[in-house]
Structure 1
Amino acid sequence: MILLVDAGNTRVKWRVIAADAPARALAEGAVGHAEIDMLAAACRAWPGLARVFGCNVAGTSVAARIATACAPLRVDWLLPTAARAGVRNLYENPERLGADRWAALIGARHSHAGPCLVVTAGTATTVDLLSAAGDFLGGLILPGVELMQQALARGTAQLPLAEGHFAWQPRRTVDAIRSGCLQAQTGAVERMFRQIAEHPGALCLLGGGAADSFADLLEIPLRRTDNLVLTGLGTVATLPAPPTH
């Protein structure tokens, strides 16, 4: 069995899979950064674990704490490459792509056969184009919904950090802020989707903790799908190791 770990900006998500059935989760969960030590309990609960495989965008200190929690098992981290698991990375410098985006693209490739827009809405929102041939064509990174609202509150004297509601024609400041942030998310997603909209089978795969805040506003073919990062990690973890030369 394999423990998969997705160390994000605010939470660490995990999943246990069997090496011969990566698509089926035996167990899964999530912990905040302050609760990383709880991963040790997940390791103890599955004594048959042979490997820990993950991706990390939360920094070296989080990686070290995960390694301590999972000891004596070694944690192997996914590194972006030029190609893996049916996805070709067309970034100018493939190794500079975020490991979480790389894992999500691989997860998307193994979840949908056609062209897709891979959107993960969390602390940041990533919007990545994947062709039907498996080419990662490029993508966007923008502040997530809550981060946008926080930036307005921090950077202005009179715009509050308050709970507003979406409206097509907002008539309260708090609603104008909330609606503006949600419209910014949907606008970025829909503009990117235009690049593949005419291709057969084109689909937006939308996940992340903030996805539900604007999913209903999107006017494109859409599938809500969470944990594409873990799906991609499971795919890579159960493939033969790539050649070293």
Structure 2
Amino acid sequence: MANGKESDPALSTIAPEAPVTSERPVDVYKLGIPYPQIPRALVAPDAEHPHGTPGYDNHGLSVLQQHVTFFDRNKDGIIYPWETFQGFRSVGFNVFISFLAMVIINGAFSYNTQDSWLPSPLFSIIVKNIHKAKHGSDSEVYDTEGRFVPEKFEELFTKFAKTEKSKLSFDELLAMTEANRNAVDPFGWTAEKLEWAITYLLLKDKDGFVTKEAIRGQYDGSVFFYLERQRQQSMMQKKKVY
């Protein structure tokens, strides 16, 4: 029962007169995850990792909070612009991209996360309110409360992974951002493309693909800690050589 070929028409995922439904198929019947449609508050599971990232401590944070907490460098629950800059530098981005990310991220998302109607003069982002910064035209893998929806995550690959079933190329990521566009949402269109462009630059492999595991790791933030450790170890090894 996959890709709209179910014997019961009431369960069909393909409409013959809507070609887009066959161009972007969904297959939610073989996920190997209990209740994949239920948003997960604490973990980011997929078919290969039904319990989320092994050994990753979520500290009681929502998955969306986990995604951003890496950039809270002093763990005070607030992400200041210089911490965003430091976080980007720590995973290997150059000064220019890190500065640009700092300006865009804190500039665009600070106000919505504040506890009051007053803006933060320091453009801080409050981690506990990060769900308020969720924008339109996104993948909907996060729900409006910052939980992770396994079914939506798997759809990224059933719909858009045309070359490798567990990897996405740059063109496929671009197609995904185009498909996710909501009407009259220029902010969401721009934010989605910038976010996935950064994801691609950070996580692409030598063949120019981003793997399913890497993408899942950026959703719960675990990949950022991994990349930081890898970079630190690489720098230590270089120091030993010299």
| TM-score between the two structures when normalised by the length of structure 1 | 0.26
| TM-score between the two structures when normalised by the length of structure 2 | 0.26
**Larger helix fraction of residues:** 2
**Larger strand fraction of residues:** 1
